[in-house]
């Protein structure tokens, strides 16, 4: 956490932007801590609200777009060339694509709030060939809401931002386990239905 606060203090808006790009792509950067500290920095008048929020949103959008492009290019390449080793067929990919068209777009928006999920949703969306305009609507809306939520925590709770963030992290971990359980139940149900 000290590294994050130091980088934001030293590099300001550029630090927020770059760290979020890298964090959304999948590097182990505590994104929520970064955003909450940015909100706290606004509270302390070290950063201005509009440029800080713009840096956070643009960083999130760029990071998730890179992940989507990787999924759309590299992910499809891996599925087509090595999918048979993992028993992934073109028909299964078509089903994933249909599922993403019906429900998956919402995981792009909600996935920001579930640790570990936001790194994967864009890659899966790209691999399943989700149309770019649908990806943009849900992923970019998620970036706007997610950034505002955590920066708001830092701003409104001020000096208590780190204690509040610890409570939020605890609830997010619980939500991640619930999300995982739902996915496993869905996969088991789909497998049994297919058989």
Report pLDDT for 89: 61
Give phi and psi for 164, each to the nearest 5: -65, -40
Higher-pLDDT residue of 19 and 6 is 19
* Burial readout 8-17 (b: 16 or more C-beta within 10 A, e: otherwise): beeebbebbb
Report pLDDT for 51: 96
CA 169 – CA 105 distance, rounded (Å) = 24
Average pLDDT over residues 152-179: 76
Q: Please state whether 11 falls in left (phi above 0), alpha (psi between -120 and 50) or beta.
A: alpha
Q: What is the largest CA-CA distance in the chain?
A: 61
Higher-pLDDT residue of 108 and 176 is 108
Q: Over 70: is that where the pLDDT of 160 sits? A: yes
Q: Over 70: is that where the pLDDT of 87 sits? A: no
Q: Are 21 and 63 in contact (CB under 8 A)?
A: yes
Q: At what angle do helices 118-127 and 2-25 cross, to 10 degrees?
A: 20
Q: What is the number of domains present in the chain?
A: 1
Residue matched to tokens 């500290």: 37
Average pLDDT over residues 56-71: 93
Report pLDDT for 3: 77
DSSP per-residue letters across 19-64: HHHHHHHT-S--HHHHHHHHHHHHHTTSS-HHHHHHHHHHHHHHHH
- Host domain of residue 138: 2-194
Residue 179's pLDDT band, with cuts at 50, 70 and 90, is: low
Give phi and psi for 43, each to the nearest 5: -55, -40
In degrees, to the nearest 5, what angle opens at C-alpha 70 toward C-alphas 173 and 26? Answer: 30
CA 14 – CA 18 distance, rounded (Å) = 6
First and final C-alpha spacing in the chain: 48
């Amino acid at each position: 956490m000290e590294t994050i606060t130091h980088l934001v203090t030293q590099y300001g808006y550029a630090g927020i932007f770059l760290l979020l790009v890298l964090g959304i792509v999948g590097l182990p950067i505590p994104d929520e801590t970064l955003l909450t500290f940015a909100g706290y920095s606004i509270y302390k008048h070290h950063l201005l609200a509009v440029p800080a929020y713009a840096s956070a949103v643009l960083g999130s959008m760029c990071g998730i777009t890179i992940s989507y492009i990787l999924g759309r290019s590299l992910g499809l390449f891996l599925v087509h060339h090595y999918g048979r080793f993992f028993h992934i067929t073109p028909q299964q990919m078509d089903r994933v694509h249909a599922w993403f068209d019906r429900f998956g777009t919402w995981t792009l928006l909600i996935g920001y709030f579930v640790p570990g999920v936001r790194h994967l949703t864009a890659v899966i969306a790209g691999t399943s060939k989700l149309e770019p305009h649908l990806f943009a609507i849900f992923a970019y809306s998620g970036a706007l809401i997610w950034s505002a939520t955590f920066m708001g925590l830092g701003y409104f709770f001020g000096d208590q931002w780190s204690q509040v963030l610890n409570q939020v992290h605890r609830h997010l971990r619980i939500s991640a386990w619930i999300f995982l359980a739902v996915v496993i139940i869905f996969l088991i149900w789909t497998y049994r239905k297919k058989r």
